[in-house]
């Protein structure tokens, strides 16, 4: 599959709210409403009318907040005035994703916003401490007593860290099914949030899709530490049809061994600057040109990391000829060690990765850590893209959504997945992405605290429970 670069784009374009309100909105919530919210938190309705994605005023994507990373734009809810007495967290194998509602700071504007922040799961204590601070702020805002905030939790960590969250926060923790939350979250973004869903290509880097209600059936490819592929036939019917263990955790683990990078964002920053042609064996390396008869361009990857063994063997021969190797010594010193990484104070953004220290020069070796990072990113992404296409063909699905924290708005990842779907479908299918791709499960858990008919278009209107394919209604 061709490994092609794409121009730098702004993957976080802002959205101007087109709606205008003719009626004055309430500035405050009365005491009776607060009391009702505290006693019956499930009765709160989120008003999504006029919702839109906003630019961050005080922080930018990739900024650090209380040990977590705020790497996406908030969603403004200008017409929501009621109290929200819960937060939601999706704790996966690599990242914990948190969603919470807040009022507009230092403003007389009505409404509030949904905030998005993630923590490395290894730093779960920092995530729990952040939730504790949210609880304190919630008490100050509502004058409520300890224990009145509710935590909606999903993902494997909702079970693994259940006791820890309850002990530290002293609040109710409601655990929700991971797959159900993913679907609820995705449905919400597809149907309710303008400029959320988009396609990606070299010629049209971000082409936004309008929110719509006729969304079923579709395939959800959720790429976290591993990959799950879910066929969604309706608002309450789904089936996990496949997946792969080669996902974000694979990339993270291998690159931590091969490059010494300390975080996933740093690995993506390296990949942004690398040249996979120094590591991968391409069609052009074999044929000297395109293989036009079967539609393969010269820069199509024939073998990921296919050049490495040959270069290592050639290096050993050269070293032996010059007397540099003896008695089974290796040629490891011929290849570069991991380059210096940015300091903690330097921002690492997946949209425009800054790297203060350059990789070793070509004279120090045939390839560097950035080349390795790019090659492995393509290998993982190409594999996921082809499996996703095959699943869509098997189940006769024309719409494919990609979600999960593996993507991170990273243009090379999106371009590779998009290219895979277009290539194998011969242009008949598109890959769809989301600006909040890593928060589908957390948003779904947040919304599961809501009653039916809170503003969604169809998913909860009948109040029927979710069911997996094959289960009786």
Give backbone dihedrals phi and psi of 464, rounded to 5 degrees, phi first: -80, 150
User: Tokens for 287?
Assistant: 């044929």
In the predicted structure, residue 147 carries a pLDDT above the cut 70 = no
Cβ(95)–Cβ(119) under 8 Å?
Answer: yes
Distance CA 285, CA 323 (A): 30
**The pairing of beta strand 172-175 with beta strand 150-154:** parallel
Beta bridge partners of 76: 52, 113
Higher pLDDT, 358 or 294: 294
Q: What angle do CA 186, 401, 463 make, to 5 degrees?
A: 30
CA 234, 239, 243, 247 torsion: positive or negative?
A: positive
Predicted confidence band of residue 452 (pLDDT cuts 50, 70, 90): very low
Distance CA 190, CA 192 (A): 6
In the predicted structure, residue 145 carries a pLDDT above the cut 80 = no
Tens of pLDDT along 227-252? 999 999 998 799 999 999 999 999 98
Longest distance between any two alpha carbons in the chain, whole Å? 87
Asked, as a colleague might, if the bond just before 217 is cis with ω within 30 of 0, I would say yes
Tens of pLDDT along 271-312? 989 999 999 998 988 888 888 888 888 888 899 899 988 887
Q: What angle do CA 151, 153, 157 make, to 5 degrees?
A: 130
State the average pLDDT for the chain: 77
Q: What pTM was computed for the model?
A: 0.75
Tens of pLDDT along 330-349? 444 444 544 444 444 333 33
Higher pLDDT, 141 or 357: 141
Distance CA 51, CA 34 (A): 23
In the predicted structure, residue 454 carries a pLDDT above the cut 80 = no
pLDDT for residue 453: 40
């Amino acid at each position: 599959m061709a490994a092609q670069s794409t121009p730098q784009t702004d993957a976080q374009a802002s959205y101007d709210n087109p709606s205008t309100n003719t009626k004055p909105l309430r500035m405050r919530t009365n005491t009776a409403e607060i009391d009702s919210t505290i006693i019956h938190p499930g009765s709160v309705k989120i008003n999504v009318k006029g919702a839109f994605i906003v630019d961050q005023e005080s922080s930018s994507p990739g900024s650090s907040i209380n040990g977590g990373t705020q790497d996406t734009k908030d969603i403004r809810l200008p017409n929501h005035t009621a109290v929200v007495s819960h937060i939601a967290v999706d704790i996966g194998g690599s990242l914990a994703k948190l969603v919470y509602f807040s009022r507009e700071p230092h403003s007389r504007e009505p409404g509030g916003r949904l905030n998005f922040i993630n923590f490395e799961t290894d730093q779960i204590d920092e995530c729990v401490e952040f939730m504790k601070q949210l609880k304190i702020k919630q008490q100050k805002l509502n004058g409520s007593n300890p224990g009145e905030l509710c935590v909606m939790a999903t993902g494997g960590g909702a079970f693994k860290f259940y006791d820890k969250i309850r002990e530290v926060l002293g609040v109710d923790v409601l655990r929700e099914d991971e797959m159900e939350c993913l679907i609820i979250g995705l449905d919400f973004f597809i149907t309710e949030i303008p400029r959320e869903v988009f396609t990606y290509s070299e010629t049209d880097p971000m082409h936004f899709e309008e929110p719509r209600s006729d969304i079923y059936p579709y395939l959800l490819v959720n790429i976290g530490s591993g990959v799950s592929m879910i066929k969604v036939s309706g608002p309450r019917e789904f089936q996990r049809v496949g997946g792969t263990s080669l996902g974000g955790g694979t990339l993270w683990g291998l690159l931590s061994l091969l490059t010494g990078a300390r975080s996933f964002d740093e690995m993506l920053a390296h990949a942004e600057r690398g040249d996979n042609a120094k590591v991968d064996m391409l069609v052009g390396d074999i044929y000297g040109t395109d293989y036009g008869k079967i539609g393969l361009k010269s820069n199509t990857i024939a073998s990921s990391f296919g050049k490495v063994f040959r270069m290592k063997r050639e290096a050993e021969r050269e070293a032996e000829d010059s007397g540099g190797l003896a008695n089974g010594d290796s040629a490891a010193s011929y290849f570069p060690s991991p380059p210096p990484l940015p300091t903690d104070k330097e921002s690492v953004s997946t949209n425009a990765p800054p790297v203060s220290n350059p990789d070793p020069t070509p004279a120090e070796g045939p390839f560097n850590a950035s080349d390795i990072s790019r090659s492995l990113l393509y290998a993982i992404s190409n594999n996921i893209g082809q499996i996703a296409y095959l699943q869509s063909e098997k189940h006769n699905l024309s719409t494919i959504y990609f979600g999960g924290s593996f993507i991170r708005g990273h243009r090379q990842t999106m371009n590779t997945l998009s290219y895979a779907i277009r290539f194998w479908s011969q242009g008949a299918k598109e890959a769809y992405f989301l600006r909040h791709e890593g928060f589908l499960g957390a948003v779904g858990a947040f919304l599961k605290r809501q009653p039916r008919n809170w503003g969604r278009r169809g998913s909860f209107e009948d109040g029927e429970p979710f069911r997996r394919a094959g289960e009786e209604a």
